[in-house]
Amino acid sequence: MNKLYDLLPELAQLERLIKAGQGRLDVRTVAQVHVAPYCLPLFVLGLGSDDPCAPLVGFFGGVHGLERVGTQVVLTFLHNILNRLQWDRMLEQQLQHVRLVFMPLVNPGGMLQRRRANPAGVDLMRNAPLDATEDVPYLLGGHRIGNWLPWYRGAVSEAMQPEAQALCQVVEEEIAGRRQAIMLDCHSGFGMRDRIWFPLAGSRLPIDSVGEIYTLKTLFDQAYPHHRYVFEPQSHQYLTHGDLWDHLYLRTRNQQPGQLFLPLTLEMGSWTWVRKNPRQLLSRLGAFNPLAPHRQQRVMRTHLAFMEFLTRLACSGDRWLEGEHRSLKHRRDAMDLWYRNGT
């Protein structure tokens, strides 16, 4: 077991947090991944309100095994919350009105093997059973050629991979019956700026909730005017087949049409780390993670404010959505900002 923890320290950190949160966290194992000689658990942790109608915020990481920093950011936020609960009465009161869910290590097998895909060679974020409605970049957008190439979607006749099924099951079970749910999936490996992406990844068409996402962006701009995030649809950068969050968003819209479900992706701009230290490219993990200790520490601090913001926003119930003609106006503003050149 010690050797496993040496190879996968994120699992050791997660288990320490589970132990530290006893009495506050509800913990369950939703699947297990076998990578000989290990059996790796997929943990889901819950915290906060037991009210099945309470708003929900979910935090996910480690969908791609090379992007360890996503898992580390989610674990850092969980560590922050558990330690503050020892003395922070306001946080304790806040959590009476909102439920938090954490799935920090979605792809432990891929992370153990130091590969983007899961142990079966499937890119989990290309694995959902839906195709893009427009042309996608060759290979990058997802393909079915074979698992020896990156971005492999899996065979068309196969069910979703266990890790992808587990993520979808957790989300759908947790959001059932709730009026509001916000998800944040933490990734790295693209661009010079940190980005907050939202669906769709398989189409350039705007989603129904684009006005609410614009409202969220506007409130964050007002609260943190010096932030460096770029808010945009993922389709602004590239299109993909089989995006899990597209799949979940579209299913939720059809099955729970009155629910506000906002899936967001934090895409950390790892090219900045490479630019500052090009030797990182000599490491398998260097293109996706900050390797210098001071940069790791800076990244761990940087995103806490946005994660806390999402928690407080959800805790505010419908208040953040109030305002005469807000929805219509913000949808028009969103269309002007993000879709003025087409849709």
Structural Rg of the chain based on CA atoms: 19
pTM: 0.96
Per residue in 198-216, pLDDT tens? 999 999 999 999 999 999 9
Instruction: Burial-class residue 28 by CB neighbours within 10 Å (0-12, 13-18, 19+).
Output: exposed
pLDDT of res. 343: 44
Q: Tell me the DSSP string of 128-193.
A: SS---SS---TTTT-B-S-TTSTTB---TTSPPPHHHHHHHHHHHHHHTT-SEEEEEEEEE-S-SS
Per residue in 86-129, pLDDT tens? 999 999 999 999 999 999 999 999 999 999 999 999 999 999 99
Q: For residue 29, what are the β-bridge partners?
A: 43
Q: Give the span between the Cα atoms of 154 and 190, in whole angstroms.
A: 23
pLDDT of res. 186: 97
Low-confidence ranges of the chain (pLDDT < 70): 1, 324-325, 341-343
